Structure 1
């Protein structure tokens, strides 16, 4: 029997009513006891001064595998996840080939068996993400997919989106929606506004996201089914989600760390690592994103981890959208939300673990007897500088490079096994 004892940890698990110093006993990958002064047997981690939280659940990740493994693959992506305290992640379907068939779903799940995080799969709603033909959702579910999305693009054909939203609850799946009106976006590169005019770069109006958000909410209301809104970045989308929740619409929503810690002004340096879709917005948008996190409008924080090579990111305007984020997500969120007094550590754990696990319907987000020992030990007082040369994934395109952050993941434990230790 494999045994691990975590001693003297400050345990924070809001869904289990835990905010105290205690020991945790793990046997054969599961938590078997939480108490003070558990006798030491087997492996021991002295967690004095550290905070034990449920492993983070990142519900928005691009692993680039299959098809673009020079940027990232399932194994390297999960090493990056483990270094950031992420023990479960949802892999988006814009792979090559698209995750629109059973074979690709099975490939991902099979390769992930030996990875340092639990990988869950989002199958696509339309074949090839082209909005021309729907996928066989039942086939994707049977192969092991737990969610549906055309992320990377919106589902342009509203009928196909509607059909997916109706089927998903019956199959125990979650529809996670990339909200964007492509006609309004019209090939823009950064947020449409002061900075885009200053740089002479084509902008994407906030209305492109807002119109997409409004459509998804309208469908959820009309069909009385759930919808999850991805990567919210605008003040109007926050208001739309807030209003929908007040009306009883079954809507949940996420944002990403860069949307509450940065504005479009970062782009004045013409560094493509700050280019993502949706783009960095204005100060007013940041204020409302934070407001939405505080009042519960925004349920989750996810990264939209999107690896690209330095060569691809070298040209500001031609570079593909996206930034990596799993290794920095906890520290950025803790630094900008908890250290500033905007959220408590318990509320942050809800946003980064408990709530996304509940939205996806997976067995995660808890520290209690009987559940898998998927855990992260963090030092909430340690400051560190983001050094791209020390990151664990294949790509280095982080907008947080060189930033000093507070809150360092020291251990990540997956199924009772230590998969990351900060030495």
Structure 2
């Protein structure tokens, strides 16, 4: 394949320029201007379009095994490719839980037939109970790229500290869902004026902040690469900023919904705006944006969480938390962050490509000779409206929104896996 005349943005080098890219056998063979095509070469004219490394999402739920009526490895892969993602990391809270090598190897084996790169995190504790440690060494050797009990907090600090030390020895990240249930009466909705209007005592930000404070300290002491997942509170951002300055190997994820929406969205979108941790106040949203801008938050992840229409049509307290996000992630980053001037496109892409690749030691995230031919081609200024999804589910508050940034093509391992 020969991609002609594209505007290349390569966050790994900080460079952007117009050039051609030749792809052979799944890798980038040449990057230069005016490459002459061969007779058998497939030509892609990218004039006026932007080429970036294939996007990487460190936090998705493909619900497989156990909940395949919501999503499967295959439909999740289709949604990822449509959103420009060539690599994703699936969470461990499947059924059965990814707490042993048999489950892990089954998922990884089935993933190999999909068009994108699917990586799998394993759980820290057996059955997500926070009591008995998994065999992290065996899971790492079997292919786990990191460890997380996402969806459930690890309440025992000593247990978590031991897990952090093991993760450090294995040189893999440990990722944490920070919500102390002792503070929460109804999850998925911020405790404040909106929850009071609904007659609900929700989830106050201290539920997150108290665990973030504890775990930042544990990260500092252990030296482990520790990810604060889907950060939602401005105070949590400040804590991460402070402990990073002290030398902790801390990372933080921001989701498109947390940097775009506030808890006011619950009044408009109902259960489609219910997620854990919840949408919070405008001051929290702005603090997350400041954290993205100054590098305190170094990852953008969707927390892609498919649910069936029937589940989301339940009452606000009975419906499950979470929304899909893969197919709107880049566009929301451009619409909510780049166009208003909070981040440059280079900064946005850095948090969606090279940063996650480096953290998880993935063979992706770069546009350079010899690198994997994982690319996304998109039109940053093109306006579009999300309506139909490749995901098996459609639980998104962003359906019908006016967005900018249209994916035109996704290339993984040198193959076109999505074309607009």
Kept in 2: contact 1:121–1:144 (CA 8 A):
yes
Count of matched residue pairs: 417
Deviations 1:399-423 (A, max 9, x none): 211101000010000000000000x
Kept in 1: contact 2:83–2:328 (CA 8 A):
yes
Give 1:160 shift.
Answer: 2.4
Deviations 1:205-237 (A, max 9, x none): 000010111111010112233211110010000
* Alpha-carbon distance in structure 1 between the residues aligned to 2:168 and 2:248: 15
* Alpha-carbon distance in structure 1 between the residues aligned to 2:279 and 2:221: 31
Q: Matched residue of 2:106: which SS? A: helix
1:28 alignment counterpart: 25
Unpaired segments ≥5 residues, structure 1: none
1:220 alignment counterpart: 219
Kept in 2: contact 1:177–1:229 (CA 8 A):
yes
Give 1:353 shift.
Answer: 0.9
Q: In structure 2, which of residues 4, 10, 13 is the aligned counterpart of residue 7 of structure 1?
A: 4
Give 1:362 shift.
Answer: 1.1
* Alpha-carbon distance in structure 1 between the residues aligned to 2:12 and 2:134: 36
1:326 alignment counterpart: 326
Kept in 2: contact 1:305–1:322 (CA 8 A):
yes
* Alpha-carbon distance in structure 2 between the residues aligned to 1:186 and 1:123: 29
* Alpha-carbon distance in structure 1 between the residues aligned to 2:106 and 2:320: 26
2:296 alignment counterpart: 297
1:363 alignment counterpart: 363
Q: Matched residue of 1:59: which SS? A: strand
Kept in 2: contact 1:54–1:367 (CA 8 A):
yes
* Aligned Cα root-mean-square deviation (Å): 1.0
Give 1:359 shift.
Answer: 1.3
* Alpha-carbon distance in structure 2 between the residues aligned to 1:189 and 1:81: 25
Deviations 1:59-96 (A, max 9, x none): 00001000000100111101000000011111000000
Q: Matched residue of 1:286: which SS? A: helix
- The 5 A counterparts of 1:133-282 are 133-269=132-268, 271-282=270-281
Kept in 2: contact 1:125–1:160 (CA 8 A):
no
Q: Matched residue of 1:188: which SS? A: coil
Kept in 2: contact 1:189–1:201 (CA 8 A):
no
Kept in 1: contact 2:59–2:88 (CA 8 A):
yes
Give 1:273 shift.
Answer: 1.0
Q: Matched residue of 2:351: which SS? A: helix
Q: Matched residue of 2:264: which SS? A: helix
Unpaired segments ≥5 residues, structure 2: none
1:385 alignment counterpart: 385
Deviations 1:317-364 (A, max 9, x none): 211110000000000001111111111111111011111111112111
2:306 alignment counterpart: 307
Does 2:41 match 1:38?
no
Comparing 77-86 with 173-182, greater Cα deviation is found at 173-182
* Alpha-carbon distance in structure 1 between the residues aligned to 2:201 and 2:161: 32
2:373 alignment counterpart: 373
Kept in 2: contact 1:256–1:302 (CA 8 A):
yes
* Alpha-carbon distance in structure 2 between the residues aligned to 1:361 and 1:38: 31
Q: In structure 1, which of residues 403, 411, 414 is the aligned counterpart of residue 412 of structure 2?
A: 414
Q: Matched residue of 1:285: which SS? A: helix
1:59 alignment counterpart: 58
Q: In structure 1, which of residues 395, 398, 402 is the aligned counterpart of residue 396 of structure 2?
A: 398
Q: Structure 1 pair 303/189, CA: closer, same or farther in 2 (3 Å)? A: closer
Give 1:185 shift.
Answer: 2.1
* Alpha-carbon distance in structure 2 between the residues aligned to 1:224 and 1:54: 29
